[in-house]
Amino acid sequence: MDEGTQNMPEVTESTPGRSPRGARVSAARIVGVLLTIAMIAGAVGWVRFIHIVPVEGPDAYVDVRPEDTVTTLSQRVFALGMTSSPQALRWYWRLRHGGSLREGRYMLEGLSNMEALYRLLVSGSPLTARVTFPEGYTVHQVAARLQEQAGISADDFLKVARDDQGKLLEGRLFPDTYEFLYAGDAAEVVARMLGRFADVVPSDWAAQAAKRGLTGDQLLRVASIVEREAKYDADRPLVASVIFNRLAKKMLLQLDTTLGYVLPSHNGFYTYAELKYKSPYNTYLHAGLPPTPICNPGLASLNAAAHASASTYYYFLAKPDGHCVFARTYAEHARNIQLYLSGGH
């Protein structure tokens, strides 16, 4: 060995890519790429999460009923094809710390993202329905119209339209025009109609009933019969007087309208056999008033029952033009039948 090189240190070349600093740089780049991918995936997922598919047309609505939860509502909008998951709205609701649901029907047209849907359900205006219930409707007829025009289940209504003994609130659901939340709470409808009845019933109702030896409910049965028997307000007080006169004489009322509450007629008429139909509502067989009102009377019929005219009539007949004609004796009544139901006027 050359003496000049004997004590020189040995020099070796480093292997590229193996330095600790280089390894750290490579790892950082990999982490950065993964984070970027994760951020992109998260952003894509979030966009997909908050996106909704707009719905249009007559079915572009969602009903929120009193018993609904955010979970059931989330599933409902998913079923409409609006959201990406049955839980999407529920998750978003939690993220936004949403409060309680408000019942009603909400129109969904024009909504394009989850925030718009959320704001509609939290602070938007639900649809309302304006419904008119004609005088003389029964509770079952009220229920059917409510379902048809206000989206409130007839079955739900019939469950709550009852008193403490479970009897239908026949006679006490005042016929009028109301505005309700569409697909709202049936109990709220009942409360509104009962409240309206309490507002309009004559103030001397109980006193007038007592003067005739009746309860308030019995007087209401009279009003309901007057409602179904008389077409014109001018006839109602005299129709009420006939009912009271017959009750006082313990005569059978013999009214088709009471039987009609449980047995449909044939264009207003019954066969002889049907007049023997066994029911407490058949006043051809059973003395006194029917066991309940037979409809929900209007104000004119309530007033007629409370303040019936004094008369000596015991019979009445509805003429073809709808006006009533009255008689004191059965012979007079028979002549009226012959005259007005045989082509007379």
* Over residues 312-321, mean pLDDT: 95
CA distances from 307 to 155, 232, 240, 296, 314 (A): 36, 16, 9, 18, 17
Query: Please, what is the end-to-end C-alpha distance for the chain in angstroms?
Result: 151
Q: Which residues pair with 325 in a beta bridge?
A: 317
Confidence grade of residue 11 (pLDDT, cut at 50, 70, 90):
very low
Are the CB atoms for 89 and 70 separated by under 8 Å? yes
- Cβ-Cβ contacts under 8 Å for 198 (sequence gap 6 or more): none
- Which pTM value belongs to this model? 0.79
pLDDT per position as a tens digit, 48-97: 556 677 777 778 899 998 889 999 999 999 999 888 889 999 999 999 88
Angle between helices 70-79 and 88-95 (to 10 degrees): 130
pLDDT per position as a tens digit, 14-59: 455 556 666 565 655 665 555 554 454 444 444 455 667 777 777 8
Distance CA 236, CA 305 (A): 8
CA distances from 232 to 23, 129, 149, 167, 256 (A): 101, 29, 27, 30, 18
Distance CA 309, CA 305 (A): 9
Q: Which domains does the chain have, with CATH numbers?
A: 61-123 (no CATH), 128-200 (3.30.1490), 205-340 (no CATH)
Residue 1's pLDDT is 46
Residue 30's pLDDT is 62
CA distances from 163 to 146, 171, 194, 226 (A): 19, 12, 11, 23
Average pLDDT, the chain: 87
pLDDT per position as a tens digit, 170-206: 999 999 999 999 988 999 999 999 999 999 999 999 9
H-state helical runs in 85-235: 88-95, 114-123, 139-150, 154-160, 186-200, 205-211, 216-229
pLDDT per position as a tens digit, 102-143: 888 999 988 888 899 999 999 899 999 999 999 999 999 999
3-class DSSP state for residue 179? strand
Residue 169's pLDDT is 98
